[in-house]
Structure 1
Amino acid sequence: MSYDRNPPVASLIIGERELTQGSGGVFAHINPANGEHQAEIPLAGPAEVHQAVAAASHAFEIWRRTPGAQRALLLNRFADLIQQHTDEFIRLAAIEGGTPVTIGAGGPRLGEEWTRYYAGWADKIDGQVVSMPPAEELIYTRPEPYGVIGIIITWNGPLISLGMKVAPALAAGNTVVVKPAEQTPFAAQLFAKLALQAGIPPGVVNVLPGSTEAAQALIGHPDVQKVTFTGGPITARKILHQCADLLKPTVLELGGKSANIVFDDADVAFVAQMAAFWSVGLLSGQGCELPTRLLVQDSIYEQMIEAVAAVVGHLPMGDPFEASTIIGPVINEAACSRILGMVERARTSGARVVLGGERAGGDLAQGCYVRPSIFADVDASSEISQQEVFGPVLVIQRFKDEAEAIALANSTGYGLGGYIQTHDLGRANRLAAGLKTGYVHINGTRNIPACAPFGGLGLSGYGKEGGRPGLDEFIRLKTVSMPA
C-alpha cells in the first residue's frame, strides 16, 4: 500500500472547536526518519487549558446523565470508527513517531479493543447494598464519576495510551482533557475528531498538545478531579509534587526494566524470535513493558546469545514507510544521543559486546537511527542493567537456578512486567509468585489485553489500567444510609 507522507494540519480540539493556534507557542516537528522539519504544532497554554476544562465541565453535566446503554452505544460506534481509520492511524504513526507501517496496526487494534471493552462496562456499573433490614439502617453505595479527568500521555504508542485511559473514563461517565506529547499530536487529534463523529457530545473529549505550563495548569485546575499519566519517573515526581499540594488522586503508568527469564527446557528458537522482536524490534525498543533484560540459565546461555543475535542481525532497519522495515528511528536527536551514551558507557564498563550499537549511516544517516545493541555478561548493578534505556538495547545475564533468577529479576527499582519461558508449569507459577511486578507473561502471552489489569510497582508507578480495576480508577463511591 502507498501512503501519503504529508502530515495533517495540527490543531487543538476544544469542544467542537478546532484551533490552529495556541498561546503556548509552536513546536517545530522534526521527522525522526529523515531529520527534516515537517510541521508546526500549535501548543496550548494556560488559556486554552482553562477553555478546555470549562468545555469538559459543561459536557460532564450532560455525559454523566447519559444512560449507560447510550454511552455503550456511542463508545462502540467510536470503536468502529477507530477500526475504519486503521490505515490513517498507521500513516500518522509513521509520520509523527517513525513507527514502521508493518507494525503500525497494533495501535489502532488496541485502541479499538480497549474502547470496545469499556463500552461493555458502561451499562454495568452498579453499587452494593451493605446493610439491610432487620438492621436499623439500610445502607447502600452509589458509584459516581469523578468529573473532569486530566490525561497526560507520552509519545510512544499514543493511540494505545488513549484507549487505555479515555475509554474507561468515558464509560464511567467522566469527561477528559488530554495533553498528548508535542512529538506525537496527530493520532490524538484524529482520535478526538472521531469521538465527535461517533456522536459523543462536544467537550467530552478535548485534546491539547501543550507546553509545560499547560500541563501544570491542567494538573492544578480546581475542576480537574483526577490526573492519569503515562511517562517516566522524573516527570511523574513533578506531577506528584503538584498533586500532593492539592490532595489530588493520580494514576501513574511509568517505565520498566522487565526481565525475560529463560530456563533450559524452553524452546530456544521460539524464545530467540520473541526476545529479539520484543526487546529491540518493536518500536525500536521504545516501550515500557518490553523485556529488555534476558536472563538465561547456564546450560543454554551461549546458545541463546547466538540465537538472539542471529535474529536481531536480520531485522531490517529503514524507512518507516517501506514494507520490509521492522526497526524504525527513535523519536528524536535527544533520544538518539542519550541511548548512544548509555551504550558507550556499557561498552567501556566491561560488558561483552555481542552486537555493537552505533548510529546508522548511509541512507539513514540523517534520521535518528540507532542500530540494535546486545550486551552479555552484564553486571547486575551497572547502569545498563538498572536504568530504562528506551531504545534498541538488550542486556543478557546468566543464572543457575530459580532463586538466582528471581533475585536478578527483582534487582531493579522497576516492577512493571516479567516474562517466564519454561515448560514446567509448577516452576512458572513459583516464579510468577516470586516476581515483584504488576504483570507476568508465561511462554509468550501477549501484552496489555484490555480485559486484564495492567500497572506496576516501585519506579513503574501505581494504579491500574485494564479490566474492572481500570474502570474503578474513574469511579468514586458514595455511601447512602436511611432508617430501615
Structure 2
Amino acid sequence: MRDYGLFIDGEWIGQGQGPTFESLNPYTQKPWATLREATTGEVDAAVRAAVAAHEGVWRGMSGIRRAEIMHRIADLVVANAEELARLESTDNGKIIRETRSQMQFVARLFRFYAGYADKLFGSVIPLDQPGILDYATREPYGVIGVITAWNSPLSLLSNKLPAALAAGNCAVVKPSEHASVTTLELCRIFEQAGLPKGVVNVVTGAGEVGAAIVRHPGVAKVSFTGSPHVGSIIAAMAGQQLKPVTLELGGKSPNIIFEDADLDRAISGALAGIFGATGQTCIAGSRLLVQRSVHDEVISRLVERAGGIRLGDPLDPSTDMGTAANEPQFQRIMAAIASAREDGAALVAGGRRASGPSLETGLFIEPTIFTNVTNGMRVAQNEIFGPVLSIIAFDTEDEAVAIANDIPFGLASGIWTQDLSRAMRTIPRLRCGVVWVNTYRMVAAQAPFGGTKESGFGRERGEAGILEFMTTKNVMIDFSGEKRDPFAIKN
C-alpha cells in the first residue's frame, strides 16, 4: 500500500493521519493506495500558499526562467514515464500502451507552453486621437483552481497546468478521488525540477474539496474537466462570485461514415473512437452514423473486429482494452446497456460483463454494439462513457448533419469520405468544437480543444489554451500636454 499526503506549499502534509480514503485497483479490485481527505482548512492553506507564491516569486519571475523550470519538469516526466504510466494504469485500468503514450504527451505539453513563457507579447494600439499612446498587455489571473477527472488524470491536468504556469499563474489542484496517485507523483517531479514552493499545491478528496476550491475568494479562475452535471454546479457556484471558468465536459460525438469512405480506415477509426480507452473518454465516437448503402457491411465488419479485441491485465502490453475505471462507472455502463435493450435497440455484440481467464476480478465489459438505434433513444442521447457503440443509419448528407447535431453535446465529430467537397461542406455545418476527417481521436499540443453546448466552453491546448489563463489590461498615456474639458469624455 502506498500512502500519500497532501502537497501544500512545497511540503507533504498529513501522511498517515487524519481522514483518509483508499484507491482501488479496478483490475484486482483491491486497495493499493491510501490518500488524505483534505479539510476546508487545508484547502484554505493551499490557496494561501498559492497566493503568496504568485505575489512573491512566480509572477515576477522572468518568462525564460519559468520556461527553464518547465523544461526540467518535462525532462523528468520523460525519465519517469514508465513508472508514471504503470501507476496510472493501476489507478484507473487504462492499458499501459495508452498511458505510456500519454506520459510523452504530458512532457510535450510542458515543453510547448514553456516556449510561450517569454513570448507573451502585448500590442500597441493606434487610436483616433493624436498625442495618446495606447497599449494592451496580458497578465495572469493569479491562482487557478484546477479540478480533473479520473479517466486520464495527468493528461487532463497537463491540458491546463502548463499553460497556467507559463502565463504566470499559480494553482491549487484537486484530482478525482478515484485516480489521484499520478497527480501526487507529479509533485515529486516538481520538487526535483526546482519549482518554487506554493506554485502548485495538490489537495485530494471528494466533491466538497472541489467545492471549497471553487468558493475560495483567493481563487481567481476555475478550470474543470468532468461531467456536465458537475460542470453546471461549478459554473453556478463560481458565478456567485463572478469568477470565470473553463469547462471541458462530456460528449456524445457522431462519427460519420459516408458510402465513398475507405472502409478499412473508417472501421479502424470507428473502433478507435469507441473502444480505445474502454470508451471512457469525452471524445468517444459513441454514435456511428453510417450511410445506408454500406450500413450492413460496416456492421458485419465491426462485429467481427470487436470480437477480436483482447481484454486483460492493463499492464500487459498485448491487452487492447482495460477495465471500467471504478465500480460506480461500471454500474452506470451496465445500466445504459440495459436501457438500450429496453428501448428496442438490437444488440449485435457484447452487452455483458466479460468473463474468462484473468478477467474474473476486474471491472471488464465486453465491447458492445447496438444497431437499429434511433437518435431519440437514451443510448444515443446520454453520455455512457464506456465501450458501447450505437449505430444509426442515414440516407443523405443533410440527414447525417441533422442527426449529428440533434444532441445536447457539441465536443467532437468525425467524417469519413474520399470526397473533399463533401468534407468541406459538412465541416462548417457540424456544431462542435473539434472535427476529424479520415481520422479519429487524434490530439496535438498545438491544436485547440474544447466544445460547445453541454460539452462546455473555453479551449485547452494550442495558443487558445494559454489565452484562457490571461486577462487583458489596457493602458492609455496622454503625452499631448493639452488641457481638457473635465465634464466631457475624451474620445
Does TM, scored on the shorter chain, surpass 0.5? yes
Amino acid at match of 2:132: E
Quote the offset at 1:445 in angstroms: 5.5
Ranges in structure 2 where 5+ consecutive residues have no aligned partner: 480-491
Give 1:7-22 correspondences, 5 Å limit. Answer: 8-21=2-15
Q: Which residue among 435, 438, 446 is the counterpart of 1:443? A: 438
Q: Any conservation in 1 of the 2:167–2:470 contact (CA below 8 Å)? A: yes
Give 1:18-29 correspondences, 5 Å limit. Answer: 18-21=12-15, 25-29=19-23
Q: Which residue among 312, 325, 328 is the counterpart of 1:334? A: 328
2:233 maps to 1:245: no
2:276 maps to 1:270: no
Structure 2: how far apart are the matches of 1:22 and 1:202?
22
Structure 2: how far apart are the matches of 1:197 and 1:179?
21
Task: Tell me which residue corresponds to 1:370.
Answer: 365
Structure 1: how far apart are the matches of 2:383 and 2:192?
39
Q: Any conservation in 2 of the 1:145–1:172 contact (CA below 8 Å)? A: yes
2:290 maps to 1:259: no
Give 1:62-77 correspondences, 5 Å limit. Answer: 62-77=57-72
Structure 2: how far apart are the matches of 1:292 and 1:152?
25
2:123 maps to 1:128: yes
Q: Which residue among 448, 451, 466 is the counterpart of 1:471? A: 466
Give 1:52-63 correspondences, 5 Å limit. Answer: 52-61=46-55, 62-63=57-58
Q: Any conservation in 1 of the 2:265–2:438 contact (CA below 8 Å)? A: no
Q: Which residue among 407, 419, 440 is the counterpart of 1:424? A: 419
Structure 1: how far apart are the matches of 2:137 and 2:17?
40
Structure 2: how far apart are the matches of 1:431 and 1:288?
22
Task: Tell me which residue corresponds to 2:304.
Answer: 310
Q: Which residue among 267, 270, 280 is the counterpart of 1:286? A: 280
Quote the offset at 1:237 in angstroms: 1.4
Larger Rg computed on CA atoms: 2
Structure 1: how far apart are the matches of 2:54 and 2:206?
25
Amino acid at match of 1:351: A
Give 1:27-426 correspondences, 5 Å limit. Answer: 27-61=21-55, 62-131=57-126, 135-280=130-275, 282-362=276-356, 363-426=358-421
Deviations 1:413-447 (A, max 9, x none): 00000100111111111111100000100111652
Quote the offset at 1:275 in angstroms: 1.0
Q: Any conservation in 1 of the 2:273–2:441 contact (CA below 8 Å)? A: no
Q: Any conservation in 2 of the 1:55–1:203 contact (CA below 8 Å)? A: yes
SS in 1 for 2:364: coil
Deviations 1:369-428 (A, max 9, x none): 111110011011010000100011011111111101101110110000010011111111
Deviations 1:120-157 (A, max 9, x none): 11111011111369613211112110000000001010
Q: Any conservation in 1 of the 2:3–2:15 contact (CA below 8 Å)? A: no
Structure 2: how far apart are the matches of 1:389 and 1:374?
13
Distance 1:440 1:24, change over 3 A: farther
Deviations 1:257-314 (A, max 9, x none): 111111111111121122113212x211100012111111111101111111111111
Structure 2: how far apart are the matches of 1:179 and 1:351?
39
Structure 2: how far apart are the matches of 1:238 and 1:260?
29
Structure 2: how far apart are the matches of 1:67 and 1:24?
39
Amino acid at match of 2:164: A
Distance 1:100 1:306, change over 3 A: same
Task: Tell me which residue corresponds to 1:4.
Answer: none
Distance 1:152 1:22, change over 3 A: farther
SS in 1 for 2:159: helix
Distance 1:368 1:321, change over 3 A: same
Structure 2: how far apart are the matches of 1:28 and 1:244?
33
Amino acid at match of 1:34: T
Amino acid at match of 1:271: A
Quote the offset at 1:345 in angstroms: 1.4
Ranges in structure 1 where 5+ consecutive residues have no aligned partner: 1-6
Amino acid at match of 1:73: E
Structure 2: how far apart are the matches of 1:8 and 1:100?
21
Quote the offset at 1:466 in angstroms: 1.3
Q: Which residue among 433, 445, 455 is the counterpart of 1:460? A: 455
Structure 2: how far apart are the matches of 1:248 and 1:22?
35
Q: Any conservation in 1 of the 2:273–2:440 contact (CA below 8 Å)? A: no
Structure 1: how far apart are the matches of 2:18 and 2:231?
22
Amino acid at match of 1:402: E
Distance 1:420 1:482, change over 3 A: same
Moved more, 392-401 or 442-451: 442-451
Moved more, 457-466 or 304-313: 304-313
Amino acid at match of 2:332: R
Quote the offset at 1:453 in angstroms: 1.2
Structure 1: how far apart are the matches of 2:288 and 2:441?
17
Q: Any conservation in 2 of the 1:359–1:365 contact (CA below 8 Å)? A: no
Distance 1:125 1:360, change over 3 A: same
Q: Any conservation in 1 of the 2:2–2:34 contact (CA below 8 Å)? A: no
Q: Any conservation in 2 of the 1:45–1:211 contact (CA below 8 Å)? A: no
SS in 2 for 1:107: helix
Task: Tell me which residue corresponds to 2:484.
Answer: none
